[in-house]
């Protein structure tokens, strides 16, 4: 099985505060990998390093076989790494369809000059983006909200729009940061069904969450505590681990 993401001995310090301490794990193609841990464990810092928002103090991020440690967010996105945020980041004044079209342009290859002169490449790219957006609207059953400004939608629906925008260009790795945060129990069940469907369709997913119910969709989980991996395995292994129960579940 091909390794999509390889986190190699990643450490991160802010002054004298050591947030991550030599974290290593990998994400295999076609898998759903979970990352859990209590507040302050270093999950968000690690997630930001993987997606390019932060640079590690030491260690490397290898994406699709290439060292991506020095690459910025845009470069990683164009290579096929897409992420969502703990608080849904939608373009509030744009409609749902316009949000999805914008998601396509984040991976576009035409530049400012081509757009200014209205070159054929720009028109082709726009047409393709609109087609992909319409496919995503159908895929995520967003037809009823197609022309509604995203900022007018409830939190659960905004999260679905953000997820649709992230997958509209079929990323090689989809990174989800606390995707069930703020959702109702019914919305969490919809999210779980959506993630299972995406994975069945072949999408590789890295899932960071404190929600153990959501972790039922994972193949492998890594438990992080005080900047270190303390256990790895299935959800059953996590539930049976005394170290995880003590650090994460508080028992």
CATH number assigned to the domain comprising residue 76: 3.40.50.300
Confidence of residue 78 (pLDDT cuts 50, 70, 90): confident
Q: Are residues 123 and 134 located together in one domain of the fold?
A: yes
Q: Given this model, what pLDDT does residue 116 score? A: 39
- Assess whether 220 and 126 both reside in one domain: no
* Domain that residue 138 falls in: 92-152
Nearest Cα neighbor of 235 from 217, 250, 247, 248 is 217
- Average pLDDT over every residue of 160-174: 91
User: pLDDT tier at 85 (50, 70, 90 boundaries)?
Assistant: confident
Residue 55, phi then psi, degrees to nearest 5:
-100, 140
The closest alpha carbon to 183, from 193, 169, 198, 170, belongs to 193
| pTM for this model (two decimals) | 0.87
pLDDT interval class at 246 (50, 70, 90): confident
| Mean predicted lDDT score pLDDT of the chain | 88
Within-domain flag for 237:
yes
Q: What is the model's pLDDT at position 57? A: 96
**68 and 97, same domain (yes or no):** no
Residue 158 resides in a domain: no
Residue 61 lies in a domain: yes
Residues 242 and 126 in one domain: no
pLDDT per residue over 90-126, tens digit each? Answer: 999 999 999 999 888 655 554 433 443 355 666 777 8
The per-residue pLDDT for range 20-62, each reduced to its tens digit, is 999 999 999 999 999 998 888 899 899 999 999 999 999 999 9
Task: Give the separation between CA 176 and CA 162, rounded to whole angstroms.
Answer: 10
Considering the domain architecture, whether residues 245 and 129 belong to the same structural domain is answered as: no
pLDDT value of position 113: 36
Over residues 169-223, the pLDDT tens digits come to 889 999 999 898 888 888 888 889 999 999 999 999 999 988 888 999 999 999 9
Give the number of domains in the chain. 2
Q: Is 189 part of a structural domain of the chain?
A: yes
Same domain, 9 and 74: yes
| Same-domain check for residues 7 and 76 | yes
Q: Per the domain annotation, does 163 fall within a domain?
A: no
Residue 165 within a domain:
no
Query: Does residue 123 fall inside a structural domain?
Result: yes
Q: Which residues pair with 81 in a beta bridge?
A: 173
Checking if the pLDDT of 19 tops 80, the result is yes
58 shares its domain with 97: no
- The verdict on 106 and 227 lying in the same domain is no
Considering the domain boundaries, does residue 227 fall inside one?
A: yes
Q: Is 104 found in the same domain as 73?
A: no
- Are 175 and 81 contacting, i.e. CB atoms less than 8 angstroms apart? yes
- 118 exposure class (CB count in 10 Å sphere: 0-12, 13-18, 19+): exposed
Q: Do residues 85 and 97 share a domain?
A: no
Say what percent of the chain tops pLDDT 70: 91
Q: 36: which residues sit within 8 A by CB, 6+ positions away?
A: 43, 208, 209, 210, 212, 215, 221, 222, 223, 224, 238, 244, 248
Average the pLDDT over each of 49-63, 76-90, 105-119, 132-146 and give the range with the smallest value: 105-119
Question: Residues 176, 75: one domain?
Answer: yes
DSSP assignment of 31-48 equals -EEEEE--TTSSHHHHHH
């Amino acid at each position: 099985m091909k390794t999509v993401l390889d986190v190699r001995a990643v450490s991160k310090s802010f002054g004298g505060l050591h947030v991550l301490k030599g974290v290593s794990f990998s994400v295999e193609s076609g898998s759903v990998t979970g990352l859990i841990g209590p507040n302050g464990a270093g999950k968000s810092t690690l997630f930001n390093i993987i997606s390019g928002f932060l640079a590690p103090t030491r260690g490397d991020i290898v994406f699709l076989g290439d060292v991506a440690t020095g690459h910025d967010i845009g470069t990683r996105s164009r290579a096929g790494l897409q992420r969502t945020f703990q608080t849904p980041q939608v373009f509030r004044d744009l409609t749902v369809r316009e949000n999805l079209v914008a998601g396509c342009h984040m991976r576009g290859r035409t530049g400012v000059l081509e757009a200014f002169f209205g070159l054929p490449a720009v028109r082709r790219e726009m047409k393709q983006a609109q087609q992909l957006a319409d496919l995503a609207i159908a895929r995520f059953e967003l037809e009823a909200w197609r022309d509604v400004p995203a900022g007018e939608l409830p939190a659960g629906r905004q999260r679905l729009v953000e997820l649709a925008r992230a997958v509209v260009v079929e990323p090689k790795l989809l990174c989800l940061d606390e995707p069930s945060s703020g959702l109702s129990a019914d919305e969490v069940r919809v999210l779980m069904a959506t993630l299972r469907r995406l994975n069945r369709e072949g999408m590789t997913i890295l899932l960071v969450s404190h929600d153990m119910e959501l972790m039922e969709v994972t193949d492998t989980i890594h438990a992080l505590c005080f900047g270190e991996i303390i256990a790895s395995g299935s959800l059953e292994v996590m539930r049976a681990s005394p170290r995880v129960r003590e650090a994460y579940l508080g028992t």
